[in-house]
Structure 1
Amino acid sequence: KIIGFLKRNIESLDVENAKVIKGNAIQVLKRLEKKFDVVFLDPPYDRGLVQKTLDVLKGVTGNGSFVIIEHSPREIFDTGCFSTYREKRYGDTSLTILIKEGL
């Protein structure tokens, strides 16, 4: 259901070069040989998946790329090569926007 919903949204927005990929995010990202400008990340809460995914994302994002993460406010993670652009808390949910900046 959600895959179809996302694809319809992409079509209605007339966005170029957008693709919905179904699968284990960490495994899929390791196989891809692309660089992403924007990544939306909404893993199950409190399983350490934000950190694991960020560790992989450093290799598939370029300078200026954004990573938008929905996560539990209790989850602690190291942003590594990403800088925090903005953070907002909505009850039991936090939204963190990271940007990868050049060295």
Structure 2
Amino acid sequence: MPAAPAAGPKTVSAKPKSSYPRKLRIIGGRWRGRRLDVSESEGLRPTPDRVRETLFNWLQPYIAGASCLDLFAGTGALCLEALSRGAAGVVMIEKAPLVAQRLRQHVERLEATGAEVVLADAVDFLRRTPRAFDIVFLDPPFKSNLIADCAALVEAHGWIRPGGLIYVEAPSRMSELALPATWELIRSKKAGQVGYHLARKTA
């Protein structure tokens, strides 16, 4: 009886590595180099380091003493970076309970006075009694139409001071941002699939 042919080597399909970052690195300021754990959550898309670095170069003349509102806080990268660089206070809005819990852990670990985490949907939050901020971060999930809705509510309800700055992050393929007529686009760049923009509310 002929011997059975030798079995060839088994092919094991490698599981693709996730590109999702496990750590958040603060780039500048008093917490420069600090790394914080990141919770993975559907729709959560941390702002890339190089985009964040460019953004805060833009904001450098305005960040000291500023009040900041992040409507889609996620990892907290934008507001924690702002606090690290001298912002007076930040409010981080996050609708996912586990992500909001991790944000509170970051605040506690850094002993970040002036930081507030609010568990809420951004649109619902913007319908509350407003307070005016110096800088608003508007960085919704790419698979949504929330830029136009949130921008309209920020403007109509007075969440941004005259002369205040609004950071908008959107898919790079988006050719036109649906921003209020009173917002002047002053900076705009692309990095891969990310388009990032800075607008100013005219007085």
Q: Does residue 78 of the first structure (1) align with residue 178 of the second (2)? A: yes
Shift in Å, 1:41? 1.4
Take 2:108 and 2:168, find their aligned partners in 1: how far apart are those partners?
A: 19
**Secondary structure at the residue paired with 2:100?**
helix
Question: Following superposition of structure 1 onto structure 2, how do residues 1-103 of structure 1 map, counting pairs within 5 Å?
Answer: 1=39, 2-3=99-100, 6-7=103-104, 8=106, 12=110, 16=114, 18-58=115-155, 59=157, 60-75=159-174, 76-80=176-180, 81-102=182-203
**Percent same amino acid among aligned pairs?**
22
Shift in Å, 1:24? 1.2
Take 1:38 and 1:25, find their aligned partners in 2: how far apart are those partners?
A: 16
Shift in Å, 1:70? 1.3
Q: Partner amino acid for 2:179?
A: T
1:65-102: per-residue Cα shift (whole Å, max 9, x none)?
11111111233323221111211101100111111011
Q: Partner amino acid for 1:101?
A: T
1:48-70: per-residue Cα shift (whole Å, max 9, x none)?
21111100110221101111111
**Secondary structure at the residue paired with 1:98?**
strand
TM-score when normalising by structure 1: 0.78
Take 2:172 and 2:108, find their aligned partners in 1: how far apart are those partners?
A: 29
Q: Which moved more, 1:89-98 or 1:41-50?
A: 41-50
C-alpha RMSD over aligned residues: 2.3
**Secondary structure at the residue paired with 2:151?**
helix
Does structure 1 conserve the Cα–Cα contact (< 8 Å) formed by 2:147 and 2:178?
A: no
Take 1:84 and 1:94, find their aligned partners in 2: how far apart are those partners?
A: 13
**Secondary structure at the residue paired with 1:20?**
strand
**Secondary structure at the residue paired with 2:127?**
helix
**Secondary structure at the residue paired with 1:37?**
strand
Q: Report 1 or 2 for greater relative contact order, CA contacts < 8 Å, sequence distance ≥ 6.
A: 1
Q: Partner amino acid for 1:50?
A: I
Take 1:40 and 1:27, find their aligned partners in 2: how far apart are those partners?
A: 16
Does structure 1 conserve the Cα–Cα contact (< 8 Å) formed by 2:183 and 2:201?
A: yes
